[in-house]
Structure 1
Amino acid sequence: MATDHPPDPGLRRLVAELLVVRASGHLADHQRRYPRWELANAELRELLELGVGGVILLGAGAAEVALRCDQLREWAGQPLLLCADVEEGVGQRFEGASWLVPPLGLGRLHARAPAEALTLAERYGRCTGQDARRLGLNWVLAPVCDVNNNPANPVINVRAWGENPDTVAALAAAFCRGLQAEGVLGCAKHFPGHGDTSSDSHLELPTLPHSRARLERIELPPFRSAMAAGVEAVMTAHLLLPALDGSRPATLSAAVLTDLLRRDLGFEGLVVTDALVMEAISRHHGAGEAAVLALAAGADLVLMPADAHQALAGIEAAVLSGRLERAQLEASAERRRAALDRVRPAGGDPRLAPQADGALEETLVRRTLETSTGARPRRWEPASHGQGINLVRLDTALQAPFLPLGAPALATPTAAGLAPCLVDGLGPRLWGDDPAAPLELGRLGSGPVLVQLFVRGNPFRGTAGGDEPWPAAIAQLVGAGRLAALAVYGSPYVWEKLRPLVPAPIPAAYSPGQMPRAQRAVLEALGLGHTGGQEGFTD
């Protein structure tokens, strides 16, 4: 007996509404930075006309993204969720908007100036909301509510608002208040907490081996705080919590999404998966099955399925076979529409790019800057010392938007007579076999060395950079009388390891930010570039 069901356009459109697909912020297909994940325009338009309910964007300048959002809304012909991972301001992803220091910088400020940190966190949210709305984005995938209490965490790191639950709870809620005051949706992530992991869910499935009591004490308070502040959405984490569900990761677990998040925490807003294309999920489940499992567990929206058409077909088949209830999907679609009803329309002409909030950018950089105790900048005279070295460590020079050719970290030391030497995964290998003296100084060249380390947790790297032998390298340079200064951008944990190794009067400075504005402030603290035209280390 035949079991095929006749086509149901209404069901297909309902299912499509629950998908959020990835697209480039650029208008042309050939401009896509990540064609593996970013749909070509023909397929993107087809899916939007079919009823796909959301798009996540990455790349391009702010003005072009504003045009792109107009285009996507026109193709969709319905209210559309337009979102981006802009945890550090919209300028983190879209050039021309405000690029703010990572949240962990405010977490450290909160320890010494809590009222100021809360005020700045709310301004952070307002700035992000203003920029997003002017571009045409209506959903910001932030705040990160993970408590980064594991310095070895390779993927959260400076993205977190702090290292203890009270700080994260207070600052994340302040961010939400600022964001929502601008009429933009927020998203608390990664539920129930990705802070205490030492592996990256972009690459593998981490395990969080903690009891429910521990989760209540450490991981859950920031999410409760964000919910109390009115956050509209919660994003799931791709990690295994044996105390709650020993077989399925949180994203696919009814025990986590339905029992814990919906029933116990009482969350009534949108539940969205983290990207299902990530290896923690896609390595174990096909695109259709992963989407079905996520919705069955209690998710409302499926973010970045590995194949949108397979996800659509899989969900539709699950409804027709009885694995999924159509009423459940309709309730999810209604939550999506209700969230969109609370979005404020774009302010002014959405085709006009926002102007970066330079005052807030500068305040955040200055208030989160740290220098070594007692160290004073010393005068550096290139003519009397000969050519020196500007040793710059990067994750990779191929994806370093914070380091254009004119970036202060390159231009200012060059003007002071320090030749750039960029070290990354594709660059020269300077490490030798001696653990006590790991730098191959013969390859490095002669003269004093300015060490600038750009290191932080980042997706797909699997490390937070703390496993590199920089403590021994700094001690080696100090012992050889060649360390001119140290700058660390990003990870506070690397800075805390190296700071005690730099004796006065050798200057050292740290910023949680890596963008050019942070570079300028750090180099000034080291005595370089104090007045723009000044060269060298100054007294």
Structure 2
Amino acid sequence: MLPDWKKFTLRQKIGQMIIVRASGFLFDHERRYPTWEASNDKLFSWLNTLNIGGVILLGGSAAEITLRTRQLQKLSRVPLFIAADIEEGVGQRFSGATEFPPPMALGEIAKYDLETAIELTYNMGKIIGKEALSIGINWVLAPIVDINNNPNNPVINIRSFGETPEIVSQLAKAFIEGTKNYPILTTAKHFPGHGNTDNDSHIELPIINSDSKRLNNLELVPFREVINAKVDSIMSAHILINAWDKKNPATLSKKILTEQLRKNLNFEGLIITDALIMGGISKYFSPEEIAIKAIKAGANILLMPNNLNNTIETINDAVESGELEIEAIDQSLDKIWKAKNKIYNYRHDIDSVYTLSDQNTQKVVTNIIHKSIRTSSKLPLKTIVKNKKRNLIVVDNLLSISFLTQQSPGITIPKSLGYDLQIVESINLQNVLDDNRLTLLQIFMRGNPFRANAGLCDKSKASCLKLFSTSLPQGLIVYGSPYVLDWFIKINVTQNLPWIFSYGQTIESQEVACRKLFDLFDENSAQTSRFSDDIFV
């Protein structure tokens, strides 16, 4: 039973409007991002004294998150929002749960079979809702409804369902419908559309120069559809839309959040900001300005403000001085309570025992991988037994390759066929070109927050051109961004080459791609374990 928020003090009301970042790990020494993630002592103090509305979690296993969420809920006097960026499944953030291929894989399927894509996306949403609730997460910060209409977009990229408003709209709605099987909140992001940018709002402030007609006929189309589908919340983008507000990013713009989203699109749910520590906003405004301007613009939830205590005091002082109207705070609390009631009226369901990553969920994952994969007409790759061969794997960052271990299929399958492993960062690819071995080239590359680019940099492209000017490349597998594959096609090196493209980078995606490349499938291949004895030697 939720308490009566109208009996809260002003500071207690303000606390409910804030979501802070916390580590999913139970112990402080395991925090991956201590600059952003409060220590346990500080977090527990906030829960006890500041009445914060919720936390967003990252890191840890699904089993550990189950303990963590129960711990945090017990420490809070008011039931918490517990959110996570799980656009690609609970396993994307918390090991042990199901991880799906990126949303654009479903958009690929939709190009030739929309009905199947909608069904798979519905099941994806259903599975994410079930698994999230089973470990105590009640707010899914998905789906992304940005239309990735800029191939150079470094941050949205394959996180989007696709490049057209029709596909994005249909699949985003299907995702939301799937989650409705469970009492969980969904979020459409990033309003009013982050798809047509070529820089990352985690680092800089993107500027959109599209006119109002284009914005209404393209970027806003999926938002209209998900609002009609009763999405619970919408996240603002730290982007400057010159056609609507030349001074304020969308997160701080009343013209965008109130005039466009509330009035023109008739959205009645929660408006949550993107993280307020991001460079796209924090480089240009002080924490105090950000807090006041976001609430004035129409935001109900402030995600990850830079200084929690200072933010609460700033908002409190602004209300007491008359700079902010108390009605804005009370309207936000009313919407917050409606959202929390949706979750906690079904507490008995949340306490039910759900299973994680079972056989049925894995079938959905496998179907998405198989139906979205792209292949050349030159398959399979026939290995030459006596020749020396190398498995050249190219990654963005050697310190951030969780998808590759000694037992990953991208390593073990080629190894079983005589390929020696060589892993290199894309920026250093030129350092391994002086090698006369036949080469299987595997590239793991996709757009991601903080990456600053969406594909191969110019230096890496020059190295690839040099490699493909020789007769050494035998085959190519690209995992992640289709725009990387498009570049290889554009430079005409794939015409006579066996190649595979997979949106996913997980071990399941690697196994399917490598098996297809070398024609290692049999009649039972779809159900073959990734640890099959015939491959992993």
Task: Give the TM-score of the pair, scaled to structure 1.
Answer: 0.91
Matched residue, 1:81: 81
**Contact 1:245–1:255, Cα closer than 8 Å, also in 2:** yes
Counterpart CA distance in 1 for 2:393 and 2:134 is 36
Q: Does 1:32 align with 2:23?
A: no
Distance 1:366 1:468, change over 3 A: farther
Give the secondary-structure state (helix, strand or coil) at the position aligned to 2:208. coil
Q: Does 1:112 align with 2:104?
A: no
Matched residue, 2:204: 204
Report the identity percentage. Answer: 38
**Contact 1:148–1:162, Cα closer than 8 Å, also in 2:** yes
Q: Does 1:494 align with 2:484?
A: yes
Matched residue, 1:376: 379
Give the secondary-structure state (helix, strand or coil) at the position aligned to 2:240. coil
Give the secondary-structure state (helix, strand or coil) at the position aligned to 2:247. coil
**Contact 1:133–1:345, Cα closer than 8 Å, also in 2:** no
Matched residue, 1:173: 173
Distance 1:353 1:51, change over 3 A: farther
Task: Give the TM-score of the pair, scaled to structure 2.
Answer: 0.92
Deviates more, 1:223-232 or 1:494-503: 494-503
Q: Tell me the amino acid that sits aligned with residue 409 of structure 1.
A: G
**Contact 1:250–1:257, Cα closer than 8 Å, also in 2:** yes
Matched residue, 1:441: 433
Q: Tell me the amino acid that sits aligned with residue 360 of structure 1.
A: V
Q: Tell me the amino acid that sits aligned with residue 367 of structure 1.
A: K
Give the secondary-structure state (helix, strand or coil) at the position aligned to 1:238. coil
Q: Does 1:524 align with 2:525?
A: no
Q: Does 1:345 align with 2:344?
A: no
Q: Tell me the amino acid that sits aligned with residue 354 of structure 1.
A: L
Give the secondary-structure state (helix, strand or coil) at the position aligned to 2:443. strand
Superposition RMSD in Å = 2.0
Give the secondary-structure state (helix, strand or coil) at the position aligned to 2:207. coil
**CA distances 1:492-527 after superposition (whole Å, capped 9, x unpaired):** 111122146345653100111111100111111110
Q: CA deviation at 1:28?
A: 0.5
**Contact 2:433–2:463, Cα closer than 8 Å, also in 1:** no
Distance 1:378 1:465, change over 3 A: closer
**Contact 2:205–2:280, Cα closer than 8 Å, also in 1:** yes
Matched residue, 1:367: 371
**Contact 1:377–1:505, Cα closer than 8 Å, also in 2:** no
Counterpart CA distance in 1 for 2:60 and 2:19 is 19
**Contact 1:141–1:187, Cα closer than 8 Å, also in 2:** yes
**Which of 443, 454, 457 is the matching residue for 2:447?**
457
**CA distances 1:38-85 after superposition (whole Å, capped 9, x unpaired):** 111111111112200010000100000011000110111211100000
**Contact 1:23–1:57, Cα closer than 8 Å, also in 2:** yes
Counterpart CA distance in 2 for 1:516 and 1:347 is 32
Counterpart CA distance in 2 for 1:161 and 1:496 is 18
Q: CA deviation at 1:92?
A: 0.5
**Which of 491, 498, 502 is the matching residue for 1:507?**
498
Q: Does 1:314 align with 2:314?
A: yes
Q: How many residues align?
A: 515
Give the secondary-structure state (helix, strand or coil) at the position aligned to 1:509. strand
Matched residue, 1:399: 400
Q: Tell me the amino acid that sits aligned with residue 11 of structure 1.
A: L
Q: CA deviation at 1:290?
A: 1.0
Q: CA deviation at 1:407?
A: 1.3
Q: CA deviation at 1:353?
A: 6.5
Counterpart CA distance in 2 for 1:214 and 1:407 is 44
Matched residue, 1:328: 328
Counterpart CA distance in 2 for 1:254 and 1:485 is 53
**Contact 1:189–1:235, Cα closer than 8 Å, also in 2:** yes
Q: CA deviation at 1:161?
A: 0.8
Q: Does 1:422 align with 2:401?
A: no
Q: Which runs of 5+ in 1 are unaligned?
A: 1-7, 432-438
Distance 1:144 1:26, change over 3 A: same
Q: Tell me the amino acid that sits aligned with residue 449 of structure 2.
A: P
Give the secondary-structure state (helix, strand or coil) at the position aligned to 2:9. helix
Q: CA deviation at 1:114?
A: 0.7
Q: CA deviation at 1:355?
A: 2.9
**Contact 2:381–2:475, Cα closer than 8 Å, also in 1:** no
Q: Does 1:47 align with 2:46?
A: yes
1:86-97 maps to which residues of 2 (within 5 A)?
A: 86-97=86-97
Q: CA deviation at 1:406?
A: 1.6
Counterpart CA distance in 2 for 1:236 and 1:490 is 26
Distance 1:74 1:151, change over 3 A: same
**CA distances 1:345-372 after superposition (whole Å, capped 9, x unpaired):** 3747578772352111111111111101
**Contact 2:189–2:234, Cα closer than 8 Å, also in 1:** yes
Counterpart CA distance in 2 for 1:350 and 1:31 is 29
Counterpart CA distance in 1 for 2:354 and 2:175 is 25
Distance 1:184 1:263, change over 3 A: same
Deviates more, 1:470-479 or 1:21-30: 470-479
Q: Tell me the amino acid that sits aligned with residue 410 of structure 2.
A: A
Q: CA deviation at 1:397?
A: 2.0
Q: CA deviation at 1:430?
A: 3.1
**CA distances 1:153-192 after superposition (whole Å, capped 9, x unpaired):** 0000000011011111111011011112222110000000
Deviates more, 1:405-414 or 1:467-476: 467-476
Counterpart CA distance in 1 for 2:161 and 2:203 is 23
Q: Tell me the amino acid that sits aligned with residue 499 of structure 2.
A: A
Give the secondary-structure state (helix, strand or coil) at the position aligned to 1:390. strand
**Contact 2:131–2:354, Cα closer than 8 Å, also in 1:** no
**Contact 1:180–1:186, Cα closer than 8 Å, also in 2:** no
Q: CA deviation at 1:327?
A: 1.8
Give the secondary-structure state (helix, strand or coil) at the position aligned to 2:478. strand
Q: CA deviation at 1:247?
A: 0.5
